[in-house]
Amino acid sequence: MGRTNRMQLEADKVASVREHLTFMFQYFRNPKEVGSLVPSGPVASNLMTQEIEPGHAPVLELGPGTGAFTRAILARGVAPGDLTLVETNSEFCTRLQREFPGVHVHCMNAADLVKRDLFGGKKVGAVVSGVPFLLLKPDEAMAILSAVFEVMAPKAALYQVTYGFTTPFPRDVMRELDLTATRIASTFRNAPPAAVYKLVRRTTGKRH
Ligand SMILES: C[S@@+](CC[C@H](N)C(=O)[O-])C[C@H]1O[C@@H](n2cnc3c(N)ncnc32)[C@H](O)[C@@H]1O
């Protein structure tokens, strides 16, 4: 291995350690909001974004943290200008703005999505979410999901990572919003083991 490659490898390791330390620090400051001690790994990030393609633009990511899924979405060919990140934690927001030039970063609660026009009147083609729904109360989950599905195109899907054995969305909320969730992937090669759920509107379209 050449000297330049070795130096790049070392730089990547240092960046990864820094990312993990930032994440852990923010977790201890606010465990309920951050929801996990470490960021998602490359296997989970790959599974979370497996169906994302440039044609889904504009793409929305909720709760990007330090950007594990952001990197994977961009690697799928989505242009930085077609990707919008919505994150509540201001430390993460500052870091995301620095690490992902050209990507739109909004430091706000996903439940407030309908209060602002972030997409210039366009409907979102796909949503990738790391928001810890398992830790939310039903009314908090309701506020986020109703706002997000309001800005999504009718056939668009929301991809959600979770660390539990079943869907992280409260059943009453799914029923009320007429949504259906399917587990599309899972992996033990992540700490903690992760699953991916795909959430869409039911085809009967009761409310939409
Ligand atoms: C489990 S971390 C996931 C981070 C990243 N997606 C990953 O997998 O490494 C959850 C993230 O969601 C953010 N978050 C929690 N509630 C939120 C909300 N209501 N709106 C936007 N972001 C939120 C947290 O600040 C945190 O960055």
**Residue type present at position 164:** G
**Is residue 208 a part of any domain in this protein?**
no
Spell out the alpha helix ranges (H) of 116-194: 138-151, 171-177
Ligand 1 pocket residues where CB is under 6 Å: 33-36, 39-40, 62-65, 68-69, 86-89, 92, 109-111, 130-132, 144, 161
User: What domain range is 196 assigned to?
Assistant: 3-201
pLDDT of 198 > 70? The answer is: yes
The pLDDT score that the predictor gives to residue 6 is 86
- Whether pTM > 0.75 for this model: the answer is yes
Nearest to 92 by CA among 71, 110, 67, 73: 67
pLDDT of 204 > 80? The answer is: no
The pLDDT score that the predictor gives to residue 208 is 42
Q: Which of 62, 83, 116 to mutate to test the pocket of ligand 1 (most atoms within 8 A of CB)?
A: 62
Q: Does the N-terminal peptide bond of residue 168 adopt cis geometry, omega within 30 degrees of 0?
A: no
**Is residue 183 a part of any domain in this protein?**
yes
**Is residue 206 a part of any domain in this protein?**
no
**Residue type present at position 200:** V
pLDDT of 2 > 90? The answer is: no
**Is residue 63 a part of any domain in this protein?**
yes
| Share above pLDDT 70 across residues of the chain, in percent, rounded to a whole number | 98
pLDDT of 203 > 80? The answer is: no
CATH number at residue 128: 3.40.50.150
Cα-to-centroid distance, 79 and ligand 1 (Å):
22
**Is residue 125 a part of any domain in this protein?**
yes
pLDDT-derived band at 145, boundaries 50, 70, 90: very high
- pLDDT tens digits along 184-196: 999 999 999 999 9
**Is residue 130 a part of any domain in this protein?**
yes
Residue that is written with structure tokens 């994977």 in the block? 72
What are the tokens at 208?
A: 């939409």
Provide the 10 A C-beta neighbour count for residue 115. 10
| Mean of all residue pLDDT scores within the chain | 94
Find all residues with CB under 8 Å of 158, minimum gap 6, and list them.
Answer: 126, 127, 128, 129, 145, 148, 149, 152, 198, 199, 200
- pLDDT tens digits along 18-61: 999 998 999 999 999 988 999 999 999 999 999 999 999 999 99
The pLDDT score that the predictor gives to residue 59 is 98
The count of domains in the chain is: 1
